[in-house]
Chain A
Amino acid sequence: EAQVTQNPRYLITVTGKKLTVTCSQNMNHEYMSWYRQDPGLGLRQIYYSMNVEVTDKGDVPEGYKVSRKEKRNFPLILESPSPNQTSLYFCASSAGTGAGANVLTFGAGSRLTVL
């Protein structure tokens, strides 16, 4: 089944303890991206990647890092999490050729709480 898989789905952590949220897709998609969703603010793009080793900032990249060493994986790294990063996170991917439509497939989400 074609899908985007995120782990963990739920995580409670403490301020300053580094964590990584993994994202993997099995559709050979070029494009991957991360979003966070907070009440009243909709989904906001954190980072995106057009291909292996090519990443760029979205609208809210502060406090996050990403890497794209393999086509299928796009982990989101919080080096020193803070309570304002408590949120629901979504990973998405698409064929992303850069021309034409770019339909996103989303993961199920990762709910992160930073105490």
Chain B
Amino acid sequence: DAKTTQPTSMDCAEGRAANLPCNHSTISGNEYVYWYRQIHSQGPQYIIHGLKNNETNEMASLIITEDRKSSTLILPHATLRDTAVYYCITSGTYKYIFGTGTRLKVLA
């Protein structure tokens, strides 16, 4: 079973921020939070990861709550090309459980 819980689907207007939530209430101290996305049936693409602190890169921002039981991926200005399935994963070892992710649809 997936260790994370995500909404099945979300819509976002083009140009607006997309905020994708993830619940990982059973996360342990050494586990990172990773976000990947998959466009159609292509290989998943890495977006961002974090341990405790909020993180930002050229693609997105990751906000992790202080208790680390949930996080939010923020795409600041969503475009049509951001339409994809987004996966939130926690892992501290070599095993990864992807779950079914959130299908984000960016609307023109």
User: Given contacts A106-B45, A108-B42, are A35 and B98 in contact (CB under 8 A)?
Assistant: yes
Query: A75 within 8 Å of B by Cβ?
Result: no
Contact A103–B34 (Cβ < 8 Å)? yes
Contact B100 A42 (CB under 8 A): yes
Bound Cα distance from A26 to B100, whole angstroms: 29
Q: Which residues of chain A in 39-54 are interfacial with respect to chain B, using CB atoms and an 8 Å cutoff?
A: 40-45, 48, 50
- In this assembly, does A61 line the interface, its C-beta being within 8 Å of a C-beta of chain B? no
Nearest B residue to A44 via CB reads B98
B94 touches A109 (CB 8 A): no
Name the one of B32, B96, B97, B100 contacting A101, with C-beta atoms under 8 angstroms. Answer: B32
Contacting residue for A42 out of B41, B45, B98, CB 8 A:
B98
CA distance A17 to B98 in the complex (A): 30
Specify the chain A residue showing the minimal Cβ separation from B99.
A42
- Least CB distance from B101 to A in Å reads 6
Interface size on B, residues (CB 8 A): 23
Evaluate contact between B49 and A103: CB separation under 8 angstroms: yes
Using Cβ atoms and an 8 Å threshold, which residues of chain A touch B98? 35, 42-45
**Shortest Cβ distance from residue B79 to the other chain A in the assembled complex, whole angstroms:** 22
Find chain A residues with CB under 8 A from B44 CB: 43, 90, 92, 104, 106
Closest to B49 in A: A101
Residue B81 CB within 8 A of the other chain: no
Chain A 89-115 residues near chain B, CB threshold 8 A? 90, 92, 96, 98, 101-109, 111
B41 close to A109 (CB less than 8 A): yes
Interface pairs A-B: 7 shortest CB-CB: A106-B43, A43-B98, A42-B100, A42-B98, A106-B44, A101-B32, A42-B99
